[in-house]
Every structure is written in structure tokens, then in C-alpha cells.
Amino acid sequence: MILKEKIHSLLLGEAKNYRLTVENEVASTNTVLKEQAKSGLRENSILIANSQTAGRGRMGRSFFSPGNTGIYMSILFFRDIPVTDAVFITTSAAVAAAKAIEKIGRKKAEIKWVNDIYTDGKKVCGILTEAQSNVKTGKLDFAVLGIGVNVFMPENEFPAEIREIASSVMDCGSDENIMNLLAAEILNNVCEYISDIKSREYIEEYKSRSMLTGREVYVIKGDIKTSAKAIGIDDEARLMVEYESGERETLSFGEVSVKKVAQ
């Protein structure tokens, strides 16, 4: 079980300055904190839930969030961040989560551009950043960073539609303290990066953890899938691809899937 007192005791540096709330169940941690921010809250806050009834991922997808098996957290912060730099919230969080998962889970953690963490070829963590921008200033009024981690395998396995691509940080067991250790480790890393997000010191590690570099992929735009090769990540955390025609493109956002190798 996720315990507020335990997590709080493990927080360091910047993370200790955030208001921490732990709930047994919410619809969506991102939704709760966004509503609080829009209602006037101006305090950097962390919300962690044991389960979500309406967890959300990118592209309007749902995020499977059963109780007692995962960490579902959101971080609300107010920083002087230009709208054009919003992508660095997500990418810095990806490095933060990957490092924590690797440390606690003792498995190599890779990043699938732009926001998913994989171990052993399967997804164990997803990240969703939502923000409110100010047209006059060109900066963010606030941002909510959501991180969902599959820590243990669900009792009845994952739903059929994600069973082939989803996995968990831990292979077996249900050591409740692992949840608290991992949550605190992620929060410490994230809050450290966010406090100095303009430095982009994490970018080289983001590049080195890329699971797409050198692989054949599909670039997905609407209903169109185009074959390409991922050739790297640039200093702006954009994915560089080369199409079969030889044309190259640098993707600032979007969706990419890995081509399955024929058996």
C-alpha cells in the first residue's frame, strides 16, 4: 500500500517543498490537480492514488490503473517555462522515471519517444503532461505532469488489448515498501529536473536511453503509417527519422510504433 508518511520521509531537496496528498482512489490524478489549479490553487503539489477509475494517457487513450499494483501520481507546478519548452517537462520526467525504475527494479529502462518507459521490450510506465498557457506572456500558467507505473502484475493480468505490450517493474511479489521507495525515487528525480529545467542537463541521458534509435519504425499521422528508420534524438528532444525515399524529418510531436520483426 502507498503510505503518505513513508513517501514523505524519503523525499529530498526540492521534492520536500511540495504539498503531498495520497488518496485510495480518484478518477484521474491529472484531472484533480488541473481542477484545483483552475480553481485558484497556487501551491506546488503532488497527488498519488492507489487506483484510478478514469486514468488517461496520450492521444485520448485510457490508462489501466487497478488498485495495489501501480503508482499513479501527478505533480502540479508553477514555473517560468515558455510554451515552446513544454516538451522538456515530459522528456525530463521520462529520464527521471527511467532512472528510478532501473534503480529500484534493477532492470535496464529505455525510453520510447516521447513519453513511455520500457523494460525487457514492454511498457511499464507512461507519462502525460497537461498545461495551461498564457497567450499574453507566451509562458505556462501551470503544468500537471502525470506518471503511471505498473509496479506489480495485476492479479487477473492486463486487459487483452494491452497484454502483449504491457509489463511491470517487478517480475513477482508484492512488497508494499517497493511502491513507496519507487514513488519517492521518481519524485526526487522529477522535482530536481523541474527545478532546473532550462539547463537541459538530462538531454544526453534521454538520447542514450532511446529504444528507437537505429530501429525500423512507422511514423503515424492520423490514419497514415509511413515506414522510416529512427536515426536519433536531437538536442531539442525531437525524433529524427529517415524515410525509405531518403527524405529526413525531425518530429516535435506525434506517434511512432516499432516495426515487428518477421519470425
Mean pLDDT, range 149-165, rounded to an integer: 89
Q: What pTM was estimated for this model as a whole?
A: 0.94
- Half-sphere exposure of residue 99, counting CA atoms within 13 Å on the CB side? 19
pLDDT at 14 over 70: yes
- Which residue has better confidence, 5 or 259? 5
At residue 154, the pLDDT reads 87
pLDDT confidence bin for 59, thresholds 50/70/90: low
**% pLDDT > 90, the chain:** 78
Question: DSSP character for 15?
Answer: G
Least confident interval from 190-199, 211-220, 236-245: 190-199
At residue 28, the pLDDT reads 96
Mean pLDDT of the chain: 92
At residue 174, the pLDDT reads 61
pLDDT at 262 over 60: no
At residue 30, the pLDDT reads 96
At residue 263, the pLDDT reads 44
How many C-beta atoms surround the C-beta of residue 67 within 10 A?
15
Q: What does each C-alpha distance from 213 to 112, 229, 233 come to in angstroms?
A: 9, 8, 8
Candidates 1, 5, 7, 142; CA nearest to 75 is: 142
pLDDT at 261 over 80: no
Mean pLDDT, range 22-33, rounded to an integer: 96
pLDDT at 68 over 50: yes
Assigned C-alpha cell, 58: 496520450
| Kind and range of the H or E run holding 227 | strand 224-233
**Amino acid, single-letter form, for residue 102:** E
For each of the domains in the chain, give its residue range(s) and CATH number, in order of start.
4-208 (3.30.930.10), 216-258 (2.30.30.100)
Residues 7 and 125: their CA atoms lie apart, in Å, by: 19
Residues 127 and 113: their CA atoms lie apart, in Å, by: 11
pLDDT at 44 over 80: yes
User: Could you give phi then psi for residue 237, rounded to 5 degrees?
Assistant: 65, 25
Residues 78 and 233: their CA atoms lie apart, in Å, by: 27
pLDDT at 36 over 60: yes
Q: What does each C-alpha distance from 147 to 82, 113, 133, 159 come to in angstroms?
A: 22, 15, 21, 20
Mean pLDDT, range 116-124, rounded to an integer: 96
pLDDT at 162 over 80: yes
pLDDT at 60 over 90: no
